[in-house]
Amino acid sequence: MLFQSFGFVLFLFLLWSCYWKMPSRYRWCLMLAAGCFYYSLWNFQYTLLVVFISGITYIAARVIDHRRDRKRPVLIVYIVLELAILCLFKYVGFLGSIVNDILHILGSSKEFSVFQWILPVGISFYIFQTIAYVADVYLGKTPAERHFGYFAESVIFFPILLAGPIEKIPFLTAQFKKEMSFSYEGSCRAFQRILLGYMKKLIIADSLAAITGQIYSNIGGYVGFPLLIAIFLYAIEIYCDFSGYSDIAIGTAGLFGISIHENFKQPYFADSIKDFWKRWHISLTSWFREYVYIPLGGNRVAAWKQVRNVMCVYVLSGLWHGADWTFLAWGGMNGIAQVLENVFYKRKHTIRVPKIIRQVIVFVLVSIMWVFFRMESMADAVFVLAHCFDGVGALGAYLQFGISQLGIPRMQGCLLAAFLLLLFWIDREKEKGAEKVLNGIFVSILLAVGMFYYLRYGIDSSAFIYFQF
């Protein structure tokens, strides 16, 4: 059940109505049942998986908290089990293809057939969330939660279950236990946040996906400007798609009085790759920094070890996103870019570059790296980058032919451009520190125009991009 479906809106309304009518002490039961029901609509069998992971996490944390003398073996067994589950569903096929490639290179005719499991939606998110919780209990940062209901509710909290943000479990359980009363003002803010997410997803991301999908599904049929424009449109598409999901998730949680941390902070206003990753998918970046980068020594080690630590984080981040060479290349390129950036900024007498130019450079670099994230093979990614400037010598024809190849009706193009400018203005105001950008009248106008756009040019909405991870 997609966030943008009518079924979800009805589900949310009924749940919201019941939630605030119930006594506080019983609300966890309703939300836990809602989470299990919501996940079962994707795959009923895998609901048992998330319940199983919740159970072993709860037990491991309690054992570690109670038997400190045996905490290390318990932690190791638990993490191995969690990662084995993740590898079973996500990486077995990739590892099998690597083995077959090696055998082929060695001249062997043998080939292993590997069963490819259907990937449970959101498994990477809730496994990282539960590993972080047990690690924090092990390190003494938080006590183990005694109430299994509140704990399980935190793992199976439906707004963030499928694609994050990756929240700290104690942060959620503390809120679930609070006595909360309905707030009209809070519900209005939550609704506005949901509306912003729908605008990003339904109007911008899905419209751009129709364009980039048409080009990237037949890259051999396009050269020049269509490939170039697809590179930058996809960068905007994935931002609107994923940040749109996060907006809807944060707004949905807000309807129930639950605060969720921000997952995006105007990433395309970043003026360095390091700054970009402080703004993009913040919960995942924070997870890798806290549980991989710092344990490896962070930046408090020799220079070559710091390079190793940075590369480990970004290569693992690429692998987290997907079991394919393209994701590893994408992660590796981000790591290399940050290493080179660190070297550049550590030099004395570094040339001062205006911030706007740095922002443009970062956006271009990030957009180029997104090509490897998007394409299904390294060869396709290289083809796009190698042929995106074909014919640029005749600039007028290059632009005119390329625009005609996009096939967007003029009115739709104008409206889409208007929403892109609106999004740019909203992000710019947030970048300036504005606490409140949207007001009631503005939201009403946005809703009306958005409804007109969707009814007139509505495209079949697809699942959020990050559901595949």
Q: Would you name the residues annotated as active-site residues?
A: 321
HEC letters along the chain: CCCCCHHHHHHHHHHHHHHHHCCHHHHHHHHHHHHHHHHHCCCHHHHHHHHHHHHHHHHHHHHHHHCHHHHHHHHHHHHHHHHHHHHHHHCHHHHHHHHHHHHHHCCCCCCCCCCCCCCCCCHHHHHHHHHHHHHHHHCCCCCCCCCHHHHHHHHCCHHHHCCCCCCCHHHHHHHHCCCCCCCHHHHHHHHHHHHHHHHHHHHHHHHHHHHHHHHHCCHHHCCCHHHHHHHHHHHHHHHHHHHHHHHHHHHHHHHCCCCCCCCCCCHHHCCCHHHHHHHCCHHHHHHHHHHHHCCCCCCCCCHHHHHHHHHHHHHHHHHHHCCCHHHHHHHHHHHHHHHHHHHHHHCCCCCCCCHHHHHHHHHHHHHHHHHHHHCCCHHHHHHHHHHCCCCCCCHHHHHHHHHHHHCCCHHHHHHHHHHHHHHHHHHHHHHCCCCCCCCHHHHHHHHHHHHHHHHHHCCCCCCCHHHHC
Alpha-carbon distance of 300 to 310, in angstroms, equals 12
Q: What letter represents residue 172's amino acid?
A: L
Q: For residue 26, give every residue at least 6 positions away whose Cβ sits within 8 Å of its Cβ, in sequence order, or none.
A: none
Helix axes of 355-374 and 378-387: crossing angle, nearest 10 degrees: 140
Alpha-carbon distance of 464 to 240, in angstroms, equals 10
Tally of CA atoms within 13 A in the half-sphere of 333 that contains its CB: 16
Rg from Cα positions in the chain: 23
Closest CA to 201 of 237, 177, 252, 170: 237
Cβ neighbourhood burial of 72 (10 Å; 0-12, 13-18, 19+): exposed
